[in-house]
Amino acid sequence: MIAPGAAGEMPPGGGTGAQNAPQKSSEMKAATFLERVWAWVHETFPERQIYIRSDGRVQFFTFGPSLQATLAGLTLIFLGWVAFATVNVIFKDRIIAAKDHRYQQMQQAYESRVADLQISYDELNGALVGAEDRFKATADALQAKQNAIAGFLGRATAAQAAVGIRGAGPAPAPLPPLAMLPAGAQGGSMDVVSPQASADSFDAEGGFSSLTMMPEPAAPQPRTGRPVKASFLDTATQKVAALFQAVGARLHMGVTAPAGTSAAYAQHPALRALTQQTERVAAIGRNDVQLMAQTEKALGMGVTNLRGVMRRTGINPDSFARKISAREGIGGPEIPLDQVRLEGISDPHFTRAYLGAAAVLEQLNGLSTALSHVPLSLPVSAASFDKSSGFGARVDPFTGRYAFHPGIDFAGPWGSRVQATAPGKVVFAGYRGGYGNMVEIDHGLGLHTRYGHLSSIHVRAGAAVAKGMAVGRVGNTGRST
């Protein structure tokens, strides 16, 4: 039996404390928070007593505020745990399903993110591989062009050497007008049918002293100037070496993104570097087209100079070249240049420029071959001899009347060496009238030279002679002063 303040036996001070609680509460406004809580506990859980009567005996138990508050707290905790356990048991499947749903959503989100990252990686990797392939293809094309230019330069240098072109030197005197007489022409033979100056003269005359293969246009060399030699291969090698060393550098300049690459990937440092290097290599390749055009122009100047030299000797270069072509035999199908492809080179502009320059070089080689049959060098040493009589009309030294002189006379030390001015075959070696001791050489294609007034003869008829080979010694035989 529980009864607060039972009438049978009132606890000491119990009723009085309950009646005076409101008054004490109003009087404890200045108390601490703990005191207020303790007062609330006493007010909420006043002291209670339990009476037990058995066999005429009465016992009672007293429950103070602290014990009641503790039991109330434990009861609330127990009821809360029971409620939580009951809810989990009843709604267990729903809770598990909700957690599984959230887990699946998180897993799908992570998988979607990983898939996006993989796609981004594959796209970037593909863009890098494509950029590397484009760079390699562009560099290979440039290397093929450089190899083609190097081979072309070698052939051009050989063509220069064949005609005796020198890189520098003072400009000699202009070539005098000459006339080449065919074998058996009326008027007899001549002392020396050869120009006064050697073939070295025309390189300074025309300025075609060397192949200046530079990307920038070069002004024509003056007649008295010293042409500047330039090595394209050295310059190109330095450029390409510096170019390949800069491939791994991070560039911060704006470049054009490759086709099919997003703007975000185009800003990747490695892709930007490869793209810019590819453009730089391609720009060098485009400069090669201008270089070949400039080379073709330089070779064309050489062709013009050689044709001019041949015209000054009285030879028509076109008909002379046709004679050589007819003797050698030339043929083959006609193939347009736009249908020709150089190995490893897909640039049609470079191919067209290269083939154009090669065609001009072929003309230069043809004229060089033709010029090798023309006696253009001096038969004697220019330092020791003076020209005593020129080609054409003159006052005859014996009669004092005007007469035609079909040759050039040179005065110099007795017994000096006389050499062939071009390769050929000796057709006469002996004494002939006014020429005295004379050697006549057939250079082919209707060109003959005669070396007269010799003191001695060193060759025999039928012998083959090379350019510069001694044929006799200077003398004063025949009709000579």
State the Cα–Cα distance between residues 163 and 156, nearest whole angstrom: 11
pLDDT at residue 250 is higher than 90: no
State the Cα–Cα distance between residues 395 and 403, nearest whole angstrom: 6
Identity of the highest mean pLDDT range in 82-86, 178-182, 329-333: 82-86
State the Cα–Cα distance between residues 39 and 22, nearest whole angstrom: 10
Q: Give the pLDDT confidence of 277-287 residue by residue, as tens digits.
A: 878 877 777 77
**Predicted TM-score (pTM) of this structure:** 0.48
Lowest mean pLDDT across 10-14, 326-330, 474-478: 10-14
Closest among 377, 376, 364, 367 to 317, alpha carbons compared: 367
Q: Give the pLDDT confidence of 181-211 residue by residue, as tens digits.
A: 333 333 333 333 333 333 333 333 333 333 3
> In terms of C-beta density within 10 A (0-12 exposed, 13-18 middle, 19 or more buried), how is residue 13 classed?
exposed
State the Cα–Cα distance between residues 209 and 218, nearest whole angstrom: 13
- How far is residue 69 CA from its own chain's centroid? 92
Domain regions of the chain by residue span: 14-90, 132-165+200-371, 386-474
State the pLDDT confidence band at 6, using cuts at 50, 70 and 90.
very low
Architecture of domain 386-474: Distorted Sandwich (2.70)
Once rounded to an integer, what is the mean pLDDT over residues 417-423? 90
Closest among 305, 311, 312, 447 to 363, alpha carbons compared: 305
Higher-pLDDT residue of 261, 159: 159
Contacts of 152 (CB under 8 A, 6+ apart): 295, 354, 357, 358, 361
Number of C-beta neighbours around residue 271 at 10 A: 21
Once rounded to an integer, what is the mean pLDDT over residues 27-43? 73
What's at 60, amino acid-wise? F
> Which residue in the block uniquely carries the two structure tokens 């005359």?
205
